[in-house]
Structure 1
Amino acid sequence: MPSSASPVIRRARLGAELRRLRHRDALTLKQVCGRLGWASTSKLSRIELGQSRPDLADVLDLLDVYQVPPGQREALIVIARDAATARGWWKALGEMGERQRDYAELESGAATIVEYQPAVVPGLLQTPAYARLRVAAGAALCSEVDVEADVRARAVRQEVVRRPDPPAYTALLAERACDPGGTPPDVWREQLRHLVALADRPHVTIRLLPGDAAPEGSVHPLAPFSYYAFPDPADPRTVMVETLTTDLRLVAEDDVARYEHLIDRLLAAALPAAESAALLARRAEQPVVPRPRAPVGGGPPGDGES
């Protein structure tokens, strides 16, 4: 996976800039579309909301309408090109469903990634065998999932932590995430050894939260989440909150700041990285006693599912 600006973030930023320019000129969606000969306002609305990959020609026309000066114009054209990245970029990501694509876009351009998982191993750290169990369990609730295609796509996503310029990646795992549950012993042992090997990489940090760990104020996350910061400080820091059926993307400054504060509390309560790696290594060599519960249950692939 090549290092590049995150398309989904660039679309959001481009849309916000174009909306600001329209408001500056006191123009309505209908007025702008009328000047451009666009049949419907929905096209411009989707561009401003970051919901579609903009055509560069359309962006150039909008910049003409708003009479954007040369310096600002060139900067927005760069953002628009990143936002419009499509076929070649998706081919590099392999086969994946819509939910995986959202995470893949964020990961591709991130400088910092922090993931919290209360019960499972995050998608970027999963072995193929463990991932297959996770996806198969999700497919039980979402029959249209192609398990093998999803596992292949997940493996491509994981290249982000192996590329020459990887993001700084931190996984905060609750102790339950290190519980084999009903996972076959050989699959679980392989997964733990994989975590230990990844933790040895200089840009990967794995921190475990003991069951009795109490973050400051006893504030515990209610759902898995992922946090992303980007090389360009003007690109909005983003949090993805995972639910059974969909994922909530947060970009509002106040929302993201709350999660940053929560991350600080979780890091303060977690075991040090070296101690976490040592604990994982010990558990990898201990006999695994499967439990009746299935640790791989879940919904359609999101991030923990991916």
Structure 2
Amino acid sequence: MVLGKRLRHLRERAGVSFEEAARAIEVTALTVRRIEKAEVGLRIPYVRELLRAYGVPAGEADDFLALAREANRPGWWYKYRDVLPDWFSAYVSLESEARVIRLYEPHYVPGLLQTHDYATALMRVGFPNEPREDIARRVALRMRRQDLLAEPEAPVLWAILDETVLRRPVGGPEVMRAQFDRLAEALDMPKVRIQVMRFGVGAHPGAFGPFHHFRFGFSELPDIVYTESLAGAVYVDRPDDVVSYLEVLDRMSVQAEPVTRTRAILGELRKEL
């Protein structure tokens, strides 16, 4: 996505139209548009000819081509492609590149904070007809995603959890106690913030469903909001729409219990199990 936007900038800076760029690589103008919107892969021969058509100096073009080759390499999650839907692979990619992840979850503990047993119990419910081996692969993918939080350049993770998340039994009391312990441990991570939206708050602006907001370290890449349904997902990047979600998160962060109260809440609910 970043390189596509940079190609567009280079084309516009050179005063080259879509049609002229298309003639340079013998494709349609629509294909050039799709390259710039990251709707198709970055074919190196095409990129090389476009850079030449845009008058990009050799050294700068070589750097750009090196980035394009890197962008074309499969991510670590590629080996899980047998259990990773196409619509969710984009999510894993965004999650891996984000600098800030803010989310509201009304149903379950977010994947980045789940224990192995909690994730397994959820997968068995979500995929009741899948063989045990596939369930194990799905859980392994979820556990591998969590390595992100231990990296030196880990993103800020700011999660607002509905109280329902903590009261819904998943996998039995032992699984839930371990999950509460995992959340308490996550609070010790310098970039993790967890707030609880108590029942007593009543109606609140995020009650329509879960969503995740991603912010990146690239000026070319806008904030993106992810929402999920039973059949797939929607990725929202229109600025006005994204701002609406961000405003909801800001309002909810004020309504929810402060982060300093989360550990005590987890302890109270753990004792009830």
The TM-score range, normalised by the shorter chain, is 0.7 to 0.9
**Partner Cα separation in structure 1 for residue 34 and residue 18 of structure 2:** 16
1:120-173 Cα offsets, whole Å, 9 max, x none, are: 111101111111121222213889x92111100111100011112211111110
The one of 200, 222, 225 equivalent to 2:188 is: 200
Residues 55, 160 of structure 1: CA spacing in aligned structure 2 closer, same or farther, 3 A cutoff? same
**Paired position in structure 1 for 2:123:** 135
Size of the alignment, in residue pairs? Answer: 269
Select the structure that is richer in helix: 2
| CA separation of 1:142 and 1:19: change in aligned 2, threshold 3 A | farther
Query: Does residue 1:63 correspond to 2:51, yes or no?
Result: yes
Q: Which structure 1 segments of 5+ residues have no match? A: 1-11, 288-306
RMSD of Structure 2 on Structure 1 (CA): 3.0
Q: Kindly state the Cα deviation for residue 32 of structure 1 after the two structures are TM-superposed.
A: 3.8
Q: What amino acid does structure 2 have at the position aligned with 1:200?
A: D
Q: Report deviation, 1:261.
A: 0.9
Hey, what does 1:297 align to over in structure 2? none
User: Would you say 1:231 and 2:217 are equivalent positions?
Assistant: yes
Q: 2:145 aligns with which of 157, 163, 182?
A: 157
Asked if 2 retains the 8 angstrom alpha-carbon contact of 1:239 and 1:256, the reply is yes
Runs of 5+ unmatched residues, structure 2:
none
The SS at the match of 2:200 is coil
Q: Which of 16, 23, 36 is the matching residue for 1:25?
A: 16
Q: Aligned to 2:231, which of 245, 259, 269?
A: 245
Per the alignment, residue 301 of structure 1 pairs with: none
Deviation at 1:176, TM superposition (A): 0.5
Q: 1:109 Cα deviation (Å)?
A: 1.6
| Residues 108/182 of structure 1: CA separation in 2 closer, same or farther (3 Å cut) | closer
SS in 2 for 1:172: strand
Give the TM-score normalised by structure 2: 0.85
Query: What does residue 285 of structure 1 align with?
Result: 271
Higher RCO, 1 or 2 (CA under 8 Å, sep at least 6)? 1
Does structure 2 retain, via aligned residues, the 8 Å contact 1:56–1:84?
no
- Cα–Cα, structure 1 residues 142 and 223, in superposed 2: closer, same or farther, change >3 Å? farther
CA distance in 1, matches of 2:152, 2:6: 32
Task: For residues 6-37 of structure 1, give each alpha carbon's deviation from its aligned partner in whole angstroms, at most 9, with x where no partner exists.
Answer: xxxxxx23334445666753333xx6444323
Equivalent residues of 2:111, 2:142 under 8 A apart:
yes
1:86-125 matches, within 5 Å, as: 86=74, 89-90=76-77, 96-97=83-84, 98-125=86-113
- Distance (Å, rounded) in 2 between the aligned partners of 1:220 and 1:74: 46
Percent identical residues: 28
